[in-house]
Structure 1
C-alpha cells in the first residue's frame, strides 16, 4: 500500500514539473535614452497586470516567474513619451526586450527626480530651478532634501527640523509654526515654491510636508536664476506631482507628545485608461498642543493635482493647495525677562487662556505647461496665484520692570496677501563646431500686494495690577480681553500699511561646453525692472546684472567650479526716518569642489564664498509688532566655508552630514540714530559654527531584516541673536540637540518612532531688546510614533 501511494506521488510530481516550468518565464531588457545613456529609475510595467519594476543604474529591468501568455510591456513616467511593445512568452522562455526613449539623459534626470531610489541623494534639480544640468556639473552649491529624509526624521512642516539637513542654515523666530524664516550665509533665505518667490515680511505660510516632494536649497547667489532671490540663498519647496503609475497610495497616522495627532493620505494614479490624464491628491489633518499652556496649532490641508499629456510633446499640470491653520495667539511663544536669557522655566507663558484663536488661510494655484519641440529644446510656461489671509493677535509688552512686573499689550495683527506670477523660459541644446551649448532664456513677472492692520492695541494689564513673570496669575487680566474692531474690510483698515511690488525681468544664459563638455563656461545676464509702493511711497528701479561661472570635470565623478554674480534686489521695509529702503546691490563670489563617490551612491560638496552687500536691512531693536522698523546698513560682507555629505555609504547605511563656518559683519561704518555701527560689528541672525548629522541604518538580511535605527545631532556655536543688542548684553550660548529613533518596514508597512531633544536640554533662541531680553524655548524631550501603509 505504501509502495502504491509513493508511486502515485511520483507520477503526479512528474506530470506537475512541466506545468511548473511553464510558470517560470522571464522578461528582461535595457532602457536607453535618445543619446544612448542608461535610463535609470524608469518604471517598466506589464500593462493591465498591476506588475511593475524600476530600471537600475544600468537601465536594466527584469520580470521573473511570468505565466505563459501575451503581454504589453510599457515604459512610462510623467513627462516621458510612453513606449509599449507586445510579446508572447511560453515554455520557460527568457525574452529580451529593449527600449529607446525619445528623451535625452539630462531630460530624463529631470523627469524621474522624485522617483530616484537613492534614499538621501538626488542628482538633478527640479525643472522649477530651470537648470537643465546635473548637480555635479552646476557651478553652485545646491543641496536637495529628499522625501525619504523628511519621512525618516518625521518632519511635518517646513519649520519642523528641515534645516538640519543643509550646511549653515539657521532658523529665526518660530512664530507658532505659521511662518518659516530661515537664514543662510548671514541673511534670510528667500522662500520659493515651485520656482515662485513667495517671500514677504512674515510669510509665506509654512508648507505642510504632506504635499511636499522635496526641498532644494540654492546656496549663495541666486538672483539671476530665480528672480529677486536673496544673494545669500533661497529654498525652493517642490510639491508632489502625479508619477504615471496605475495606482499608488499611502496613508499614515502619527501620535506624539503634547497631544499631537496627525493623519495623511496620498493618492496617485490615472484618470483614464490611456494614462494621459493623471491625478495626485494629498490630504492632511493635524492637532497638537505645546509644552507651554494655552498654546496650540491645529491645521489641515487639501492638495489636488491633475496632469494631462496633451500630446507626446506637451504636458499640462494644474495644482491647487489649500492650507488652514487655527492656532493660539501668534506671539504666545515669546517670553520676556529683565535679567537675561532662559531665566524662566521653559514652559513659562505670557499668554492667556481666553484669547480668541488666530486663523490663517492660504490658497495657491499653479498652472504649468511643458512643451518639447524635440529632444533638445523645451519650453516651460507657468502661471501662479497665491492668496493668504490672517486674522490674529500678538502679545508684546510695553514695559518690563526689573522686579518682573510686565504690562502686556495685545495688538491686532491681520494680514492679506495677493500674489500673481508669470514665467516663460526656454531650455535648449546646440552645437557649434566642437563647442556644445546649454541655453536658458526667459521672462519673469510678478505682482505682490500686501495689506496689514496692526493699528489697534489694548493693554491687558496696568500699573495697579501688572503681570509679574515671577508670580504669574492667569485668567483675569485687569483690563479684560479686548475685542478688535473688524467692521471694516482689511483693505480699508490697512490702506496706510499697503505694500505692493511689481517686477519684470529678461534673462539669457549660455553654458558653453569644451573638450567633450569637460569644461563648462557659463555666461549670463539679467535685466530687472521693479516698481513698488510701500506705505504710500512709490519707487522705481532697474538694473542689469551679469553672471559668470566655470565648472571643470577633473574626472567623471569630480568637478571644480567658480562663480561670480552681481546682486540687485528691491527691498520692502519700514525705516523710522520715513526713507524708502534702497535696493540691495553687491557682488558674490563662490568656489567649490563636488564629488560623487562609489558609483554615485553618495556625494560631497566643499564650497567657499564671499558675499558683499550694500544697503542690507536688519531688524531695528526699537521696533514692536505695531511698528516693525528696520535698519539699513551701509555695507556688509559675509564669508564662509561649507561642507555637505549625503547618500548611501554602505548597503542600508545612509548619512547626511554638514558643517559651515560663517562670518558676517558690517564692512563699512553705518550711522543709525546718531550712533555709529563700526566696521567689524557682527550681523544678526547666524551661527559662526554650525554642524549637523543624521545617520540611518536598516538591517539587510536575517530575522530582523527591515528593522533599523537612526539618529542625529544639531550643533551651533558663537550664535548671533535675532536683532542688534546693546553694549554689555548677553550672548546666546552654544546649542546642541540630539534626536534619534528606531523603525521597521516590511512590504507595505512602516513603523517609525523618534525621540527629540533626547538630552532634555533647555534650548532656545532670542535677542536683547532695550533693557530686557526675549526668547522662545523649544520643547523638552518629546516623542513621535508613526505608522504608514502603502497600497
Structure 2
C-alpha cells in the first residue's frame, strides 16, 4: 500500500473523528436513578423519550444515562412491566447534563411476568401465566415449579438449554440431543421418570437438537404428572419443561456478543429490538446466533445457525396479535455413545463401573466426522383479545417441522478391553400442528373469588422415519458390527471407520421406512377459588380423545397399531397462606396417563391382539412455599409420592405383554434463592428420589429403574458484584452440580454356574463438578470469563449409554449493549 494513500486515509479518519467529537459536544445528556417504592433500586427499567427511538434501560443499581440528545422539549417515559408508568415533560438545553430521578410503584393488579425486581433476588422464581394457564402467583399455586432466569443464564455464560437446566433441582440429563427425528431432543430424569423439552410458551414447540439459548427469556420446569393442562404427549409422569422466549418491547435496543473458548469455540449472537411505528403498536425483535465448535475428542464438530424473529401488533385496546418463528440448521457429529449389549451382563464383560473402562476418553474411535444435518422450522401465531374487564381470550396456533439426515455411530462393549464399532443412517422428518383456544375469567360466587380457565386444543403429528443399517439381516440389524477394536491400545485400523467406508456398506444393508400419524382432541377446565383471603382451593379436569392412525410400512404395504382411546385426567390443589403473600402451605393431587393401544397380549396363556387401557400416574404432594423480606428470600420445600399403575410389561409367552405392572417414586425437593445483601445472589437445590419397580418382570422386580437417574442431586450457584466502588459492576460467581452414582444396568440375573438369582449392576460413578466465572457488567458492555469443570473431573451421564462429559474448558465473552 502506498505511503501517500495511508497518510490520506489517516487524515480522513482524524477529520471524521474530530467532527464527530465536536458534534457530540453540542448534544445534551439526561441521567438519574429509578427506585421502587420501598427505596430499592429498579434494574432493567425502560427510559425513553416519548415519540422518538432514543432511550436506554437502567443498570443493576437503577441508574440510567441517555447521551447525544438534541436540545428541545421532550416527554421522558419510565415504564416497567408490573409497575405504573410515569411521564414527565422536560426541556433540554444545549450541552446540558440534566438529572431526573423517579420512583415507580408496583401494580399488584397486574400478574404477568414481573421483570423488574430492583436490587433484589435476580435468581428468584418469576410469576408465570404458563404453569397454570392463568395468572396466579407462585404462593397461590399448589403445583411446584422451578424457573431458570435470564440473569442466571447470563451470569453462567450459558449457550444452550441443556446447560441452563443444570440449575433445576432434581432434573438430571440422561442423554444429550441426538438430532434424530422422533427422539432427537435431550432426555432428562425428573422425579424418577423420563421427560423432554417439548413445550414453548405453553404449547407444542419441539426441537430435535439442543435448543440455542440466544432466544430464551427463561426456562420453566413444572414438576409432577401434568397431563391435565398440557396433555400426555408433551409431558411425562415426572413433569415437563417449558421454554419461554424473548418478546419485543417498545423501544430500540439490543445486544451483540462474541464468545470464544476451548476446542475452537466461536459463537456470535445478536438481539435487536425496535418499534416499527410512532405509537409503538408494531414491535419487532430478532434474535440470531452462529455457533462453531469442536468437541474435546479427536473427531467431533458442531456448526449451527439460529434465527428467531418475533413480531407483535396491537390492533386496538382489546386485540393484540403476535407471530414468532424459530429457524435452525445444525450440522453435528454424534458423540461416541457406548452401550452394554442387550445379550451381555456386567459379569460377562468383567466391567461394573464406567471407571473400569481403561480408555483414553479423548479418542473418538472414528476416522472422520460422521455429520448429521438437522433442520427445524417452528412458527407460532397468537391472538389475545380482552372480551371485557374480567374475561380474556387467547388463541394460539403452533407448527413445528423437523428434518434429520445423516449417519450416527455407537459402540458395544465386549470383554478384554474390546468394543465393536457400529453405524446407522438416518433420514426422517416430522410435522406437528397444534391449535389451542383458552378463555380466562374472574367472577364472584357466594362471596368467593373464582379465577377460571376453559379451553381445548387439537394436536396433529405426522412423521416419516427412515433408517439404514450395515446388516442386510432384519433379525440382526443392531449386531452388525463394522469391526472390533481394542480401546486400550493402538489400532492400525483406527481411521478405517469413516463415512466413506460406512456409506459403501449401507447400500447392501437393511433399509426401514415407516409413516406414522396421530391426532388428539382435548378439552379442559380449571377453577381457582379463594374461599377466604388466605385459603385457596383449585380443581381441573381434562378429556382427551386419542386417535392413532398406526404405522404404515410402504415396502410391505401394511399398517399396524392403529387405535382410538379416551382418557380423563383430574387435578386438585389446596393452598393456605400462613402469612399473606409470604408463606403458604400447599398440597396437590395430580394425574397423568399414557396411551398404550393395541399390542400382542398374554390372555390366559394364549397370544391375542388386545387394546390395553392407558397407564395411569397419580401424585400426592405437600410442602411449603416462601417469598419473604421483599422478595429477597424465596424457597420451596416439598414431599411427593407418585404411583404408576397398569404398566405394560412382558408376558410369560414370547413376544406378548400383560398390563399389571407398577412403579412407585417418592422423594423430597428443596430450592432456595436469596439476595441477603446488596449484590449477593445465590440459588441452591437439593433433590432425593426413591424409585422402585413393583409387580414387574423378575429381572427388574423390586429394583430402581435405569431411567430414574441418581437418588441424590445438588445444584448451586453463588454470585457477588461490587455495588459502590469505582469497580461497580465487577462480579464473580461459582457453583456446580453433585450427583450420586446412577445405574445404566440394574437387573436380577440367573447365575449360569450356581443357578441362583443375583443382582448385577453397572454404574456411572458419583461426581461433583465446579464451575466459576468473573464478569464486568456496565450499561453499554459486559465482559465475562468462565471455566467449566474447574477441577477437570472425569464424569459421565446416561441411562442405557455411557456418555463421557467434557473436561475443563475455558470461554470468554464480549457483549455490546445498545
**Other-structure match for 2:567:** 543
2:495 equivalent to 1:475: yes
TM-superposed deviation, 1:334:
3.5
TM-superposed deviation, 1:420:
0.4
Assess, with a 3 A threshold, how the Cα gap between structure 1 residues 431 and 311 changes in structure 2: closer, same or farther. same
**Paired residues of 2:745 and 2:761 also in contact (CA < 8 A):** no
TM-superposed deviation, 1:617:
7.4
* Corresponding residue SS for 2:727: coil
TM-superposed deviation, 1:714:
0.7
2:374 to 360, 368, 383: 360
TM-superposed deviation, 1:520:
0.6
**Paired residues of 2:703 and 2:746 also in contact (CA < 8 A):** no
Assess, with a 3 A threshold, how the Cα gap between structure 1 residues 612 and 29 changes in structure 2: closer, same or farther. closer
* Corresponding residue SS for 2:152: helix
2:423 equivalent to 1:418: no
2:192 to 177, 181, 186: 186
Assess, with a 3 A threshold, how the Cα gap between structure 1 residues 83 and 751 changes in structure 2: closer, same or farther. closer
Residues 399-449 of structure 1: per-residue CA shift (max 9 Å, x gap): 654234444232112221110001111111111242101111111210112
Residues 451-483 of structure 1: per-residue CA shift (max 9 Å, x gap): 222243259999997322233332225996132
- Give matches, 1:372-383, under 5 Å: 372-383=386-397
1:273 to 269, 278, 283: 278
2:151 equivalent to 1:148: yes
Partners of 2:76 and 2:460 in 1: how far apart? Answer: 47
**Other-structure match for 2:817:** 790
**Other-structure match for 1:567:** 592
**Paired residues of 1:529 and 1:542 also in contact (CA < 8 A):** yes
**Paired residues of 1:460 and 1:477 also in contact (CA < 8 A):** no
TM-superposed deviation, 1:790:
0.6
TM-superposed deviation, 1:729:
2.8
Partners of 1:367 and 1:292 in 2: how far apart? Answer: 42
**Paired residues of 1:78 and 1:243 also in contact (CA < 8 A):** no
**Other-structure match for 2:175:** 173
**Paired residues of 2:263 and 2:294 also in contact (CA < 8 A):** yes
Partners of 1:377 and 1:248 in 2: how far apart? Answer: 33
* Corresponding residue SS for 1:481: helix
2:264 to 246, 259, 275: 259
**Other-structure match for 1:514:** 531
Partners of 1:455 and 1:64 in 2: how far apart? Answer: 60
TM-superposed deviation, 1:733:
1.9
- Give matches, 1:60-209, under 5 Å: 70-74=73-77, 87=89, 105-106=108-109, 108-113=110-115, 118-127=121-130, 130-159=133-162, 161-175=163-177, 179-191=185-197, 192-198=199-205, 204-209=208-213
TM-superposed deviation, 1:662:
0.4
**Paired residues of 1:697 and 1:708 also in contact (CA < 8 A):** yes
TM-superposed deviation, 1:551:
0.9
**Paired residues of 2:687 and 2:712 also in contact (CA < 8 A):** yes
- Give matches, 1:318-337, under 5 Å: 318-328=323-333, 330-334=334-338
Gaps of 5+ in 2: 1-27, 342-348, 472-476, 552-559, 603-608, 750-758
Assess, with a 3 A threshold, how the Cα gap between structure 1 residues 347 and 514 changes in structure 2: closer, same or farther. same
Partners of 1:251 and 1:783 in 2: how far apart? Answer: 20
Residues 20-64 of structure 1: per-residue CA shift (max 9 Å, x gap): xx99999999999xxxxxx9976454314634667999xx99999
2:629 to 565, 584, 598: 598
TM-superposed deviation, 1:713:
2.2
Residues 312-336 of structure 1: per-residue CA shift (max 9 Å, x gap): 12111101111111011x3534377
TM-score normalised to structure 1 length: 0.82
**Paired residues of 2:710 and 2:741 also in contact (CA < 8 A):** yes
* Corresponding residue SS for 2:769: strand
Partners of 2:82 and 2:34 in 1: how far apart? Answer: 24
**Paired residues of 1:653 and 1:698 also in contact (CA < 8 A):** yes
2:242 equivalent to 1:236: yes
* Corresponding residue SS for 1:789: strand
**Paired residues of 2:34 and 2:58 also in contact (CA < 8 A):** no
**Paired residues of 1:179 and 1:206 also in contact (CA < 8 A):** yes
TM-superposed deviation, 1:548:
1.1
**Paired residues of 2:693 and 2:701 also in contact (CA < 8 A):** yes
**Paired residues of 2:358 and 2:417 also in contact (CA < 8 A):** no
2:526 equivalent to 1:524: no
Partners of 2:498 and 2:424 in 1: how far apart? Answer: 17
Partners of 1:579 and 1:198 in 2: how far apart? Answer: 33
Residues 606-630 of structure 1: per-residue CA shift (max 9 Å, x gap): 011111112457999xxxxxx9x99
Partners of 2:726 and 2:90 in 1: how far apart? Answer: 39
2:222 to 195, 218, 239: 218
**Other-structure match for 1:665:** 692
Which one is further off, 567-576 or 209-218? Answer: 567-576
**Other-structure match for 1:391:** 405
**Paired residues of 1:462 and 1:478 also in contact (CA < 8 A):** no
**Paired residues of 2:217 and 2:245 also in contact (CA < 8 A):** yes
- Give matches, 1:450-469, under 5 Å: 450-458=463-471, 466-469=484-487
Partners of 2:169 and 2:814 in 1: how far apart? Answer: 30
TM-superposed deviation, 1:105:
3.4
* Corresponding residue SS for 2:707: coil
**Paired residues of 1:387 and 1:419 also in contact (CA < 8 A):** yes
**Paired residues of 1:186 and 1:683 also in contact (CA < 8 A):** no
- Give matches, 1:601-616, under 5 Å: 601-616=632-647
Assess, with a 3 A threshold, how the Cα gap between structure 1 residues 365 and 346 changes in structure 2: closer, same or farther. farther
* Corresponding residue SS for 1:392: strand
**Paired residues of 2:329 and 2:373 also in contact (CA < 8 A):** yes
* Corresponding residue SS for 1:136: helix
Residues 649-704 of structure 1: per-residue CA shift (max 9 Å, x gap): 2211110100011011113x123xxx453235445331111111100111112233
Residues 266-323 of structure 1: per-residue CA shift (max 9 Å, x gap): 0011111111110110111111111112111111101111111111121111011111
2:302 equivalent to 1:285: no
Partners of 2:679 and 2:160 in 1: how far apart? Answer: 26
Q: Could you say what the CA RMSD is over the residues aligned between the two structures, in angstroms?
A: 4.1
**Other-structure match for 2:7:** none
Assess, with a 3 A threshold, how the Cα gap between structure 1 residues 362 and 29 changes in structure 2: closer, same or farther. closer
Partners of 2:600 and 2:174 in 1: how far apart? Answer: 21
Partners of 1:287 and 1:601 in 2: how far apart? Answer: 39
Residues 316-357 of structure 1: per-residue CA shift (max 9 Å, x gap): 1101111111011x3534377944323133524454233542
Assess, with a 3 A threshold, how the Cα gap between structure 1 residues 461 and 606 changes in structure 2: closer, same or farther. closer
**Paired residues of 1:377 and 1:427 also in contact (CA < 8 A):** yes
Partners of 2:593 and 2:480 in 1: how far apart? Answer: 47
**Other-structure match for 1:448:** 461
Partners of 1:479 and 1:752 in 2: how far apart? Answer: 39
Partners of 1:576 and 1:61 in 2: how far apart? Answer: 69
**Other-structure match for 1:624:** none
Partners of 2:261 and 2:600 in 1: how far apart? Answer: 43
Assess, with a 3 A threshold, how the Cα gap between structure 1 residues 400 and 511 changes in structure 2: closer, same or farther. closer
